[in-house]
Structure 1
């Protein structure tokens, strides 16, 4: 049967496919903040997100992920931003907005100072983290 689909492919049908996704690995992709906005809209249940080595991920990206309007603010448990060289110390306080965050990997982020990461680990959202390695923050559940 060659009758056209009532819904154009890639629209409403695919929107539902990401709704229940809990873990997404996008390491090394050329993601922009526009890509992250789409991710927030279409995958609001993410508990684990790997954006490691994504060249365009920076402080504005962290602001998007942790903004009051972001559903991930409440769902993220594991966030990997290792090797995201555009991140600076200015984004670190934004992670306090994520109360469920248990693992935050910021290793190999050249512009993040170990001292600022240690300060975040001590305060943490909503309590202190362990730092088994520099710029790797872990919290026991």
Structure 2
């Protein structure tokens, strides 16, 4: 943030390349390594197979909508700030469509990488995947 504020908009694009690619590369390493561990398929099946009883509860949908807003950055104002520096002939519609496609794909990719590791952890500890649900907002 200091470099972005000090150098201005000229360096923001270069910083975004680093801050975007580093987490994606870490998730790729986790996915490759996690896929080779025993129990990884249990974690992937837990991610892919939905529990329809849990989907009936409204708090699951509230948390999902909150994550979607946070993930896209629509509630932080940074998108408005950066977009004010776009060129006048920029295709905003195309950029918005690309964002709406790439963001869920990155989320699914990171979810796959994390759930392979969680499946391995459940395998090693001899516990169930449901035992790893300990964070987030608990709503009655």
Q: Same fold (TM over 0.5)?
A: no
TM-score (norm 1): 0.27
Question: In terms of Rg, which structure is larger?
Answer: 2
Select the structure with the greater relative contact order (CA < 8 A; seq sep ≥ 6): 2
- Larger fraction in helix: 2
